[in-house]
Amino acid sequence: MIPARPGDEDTICAISTAPGVGAISVIRVSGSKALSTVSRLAPFLVSCPESHRLYFGSLKDPASGDLVDEVLIAYFANGRSFTGEETIEISCHGGDAISSRILELLIGQGARLARPGEFTYRAFLNGRVDLVQAEGILGLIESRSKESSAAALSQLKGELSRKFSAIEDDLVWIGAQLEASIDFSSDGIELKPSKDLLDRAQRLNSRVGDLISSYQKGRLLRNGLAVALVGSPNAGKSSLLNAIVEEERAIVTDQPGTTRDWIEVETRFHGTPIRWIDTAGIRETRDVVEKLGVEKSLHARNTADAVVVVIDISDTDWRVGFSDFVRGAKKAEHYFFNKIDLDRTGEWRATAEAEAERLGVAGRTVFGSAVTGDGIGELKTMIAGPLREIEGVGGAGLVTQARHVEGLKKIQGSVVKALNLIEKDASPELIAYELQVGLKAVHELLGKVFHEQVIDRIFKEFCLGK
């Protein structure tokens, strides 16, 4: 049972459309007094409106009788709306002035301005959606590609919730078998866990592992790809960024250390965002400001989804820097040998190709020039590899959020511990305890267990009118 919080019984209102000038604005009102509140502004509205029907008329200021706007009012009866409460949506002419005035009049009649995500929160509170579906709504609003919107819509439709519920069913079934063993043991009858129980636990562990593994694709669908451009000072990282986005976004000079803080620019791959991060040159320095920039560059290198190390092939000492970057890599990185246009004989390239082969990174190496544009297309194609892999996956049932992965890892941990105890013929009470830990994690995912901090964290990301 989800406990009521202060304000949950209030009638709330908010502008649901984006701010600014537009053809229409939509104002949403929800709560037990939605109809009586709106009726004071809309004398044309009948006393017993029909649910899911539109009514046309003029809104008036209840105090002065002044005409406010001509509107359409949609009425949704209690239990038949998105929130599960009596809800009214007012469609007025677009623009901040009109919609803001209507909102002020509604508040003057006793309604309260909704908190971010409060309409969806009430849908969750009234059992219209579970917590996973509520997060799907936010994902659908924020989606920026066909694949990410498909993943969010699948989540809203309950596909991921059904997978979590299936995990819950397995945990309950296994727990019930163990409880039976406990009951029999109290009568002096020892029952070992059956093969069916063990098989079901192993299949459950495999399914949970598959869901956790799907997060890598799901996260890319939701957030896109972050690519850090790193390298020594004056290697041409900023020039490369400008060449990639075909726009002068980063300052370029011959002076090493020009970039002190990272710069982010976004491009799209079939709608999915790629964030290119130009970072400060990595080197030893005593300059306090530059040192902070180097630290941020190292952070970007460690946290980005992909890394492009930019090497100045015209630098006589490039081999040392190249070797250091390859040895210091914590994951597979890509290497862009810049300024290849200065290689008049092809000797530099031949030497670099041999060195890349020796270090085992030839398959992740591109030769090009940020000035002429050579190699830029090849680099983009290489970086977009993970995004091509998720094209057409549909997103059905993928895990796209860190909260879900955290919960699934708790479940996996409890199931693995239970399996180990089963194989050791441990006491059923110990096995049942571990399974209860996993069951609690499922309930937290679906919102069956109420944690106010988690609820606040999720719904505060919504806009006011959703």
Q: What is the 3-state secondary structure (H, E, C) of 392-428?
A: CCCCCCCCCCHHHHHHHHHHHHHHHHHHHHHHCCCCH
Is residue 143 within 8 A of residue 149, CB to CB? The reply is yes
Separation between Cα atoms, residue 238 and residue 121, nearest integer Å: 44
Separation between Cα atoms, residue 224 and residue 413, nearest integer Å: 29
For residue 261, the model assigns a pLDDT of: 57
SS3 content of the chain, % helix, strand, coil (to 5): 50, 15, 35
List the one residue out of 141, 144, 316, 331 whose CA is nearest residue 230: 331
Separation between Cα atoms, residue 140 and residue 145, nearest integer Å: 10
For residue 455, the model assigns a pLDDT of: 75
For residue 6, the model assigns a pLDDT of: 83
Is residue 151 within 8 A of residue 218, CB to CB? The reply is yes
Separation between Cα atoms, residue 115 and residue 96, nearest integer Å: 19
List the one residue out of 229, 225, 219, 291 whose CA is nearest residue 257: 291
Separation between Cα atoms, residue 57 and residue 72, nearest integer Å: 7
For residue 3, the model assigns a pLDDT of: 60
Separation between Cα atoms, residue 309 and residue 329, nearest integer Å: 10
Separation between Cα atoms, residue 38 and residue 29, nearest integer Å: 8
Q: Which residue carries 């290119």 as its tokens?
A: 276
For residue 179, the model assigns a pLDDT of: 76
Q: List the chain pLDDT tens, one digit each, 466 residues.
A: 466 678 899 999 999 998 878 899 999 999 999 999 999 999 999 999 999 999 999 999 999 999 999 999 999 999 999 999 999 999 999 888 999 999 999 999 999 999 988 999 999 999 999 999 999 998 888 887 777 888 888 899 999 999 999 999 999 988 888 876 655 454 444 445 567 788 899 999 999 999 999 998 888 888 889 999 999 888 988 899 999 988 765 444 454 444 445 788 888 887 788 999 998 888 777 677 767 878 888 888 999 999 999 999 999 999 998 999 999 898 999 999 999 999 999 999 999 999 999 999 999 999 999 999 999 999 999 998 888 877 665 556 789 889 999 999 999 999 999 999 888 878 888 888 999 999 999 999 998 876 777 777 777 777 766 7
- Domain 141-214+397-446 - what CATH class? mainly alpha
For residue 224, the model assigns a pLDDT of: 86
Q: Could you give the angle at the alpha carbon of 131 between the alpha carbons of 128 and 137, nearest 5°? A: 75
Separation between Cα atoms, residue 181 and residue 280, nearest integer Å: 63
Separation between Cα atoms, residue 231 and residue 259, nearest integer Å: 12
For residue 263, the model assigns a pLDDT of: 83
For residue 464, the model assigns a pLDDT of: 64
CATH code: domain 220-390 is 3.40.50.300
The pTM assigned to this predicted structure is 0.78
Is residue 376 within 8 A of residue 367, CB to CB? The reply is no
For residue 190, the model assigns a pLDDT of: 46
Q: Where are the domains of the chain?
A: 12-129, 141-214+397-446, 220-390
Query: Looking only at Cα atoms, what is the longest distance across the chain?
Result: 90
Cβ neighbors of 456 (< 8 A, separation 6 or more) are none
List the one residue out of 346, 355, 347 whose CA is nearest residue 325: 355
Which phi and psi (to 5°) does residue 152 adopt?
Answer: -65, -40
Question: How long is the chain?
Answer: 466
Return the amino acid letter for 73. I
Q: Which CATH number fits domain 12-129: 3.40.50.720, 3.30.1360.120, 3.40.50.2300, 3.40.50.880?
A: 3.30.1360.120
Is residue 312 within 8 A of residue 338, CB to CB? The reply is yes
For residue 252, the model assigns a pLDDT of: 46
Separation between Cα atoms, residue 297 and residue 277, nearest integer Å: 9
Local structure of 369: helix, strand or coil? coil
Separation between Cα atoms, residue 371 and residue 331, nearest integer Å: 29
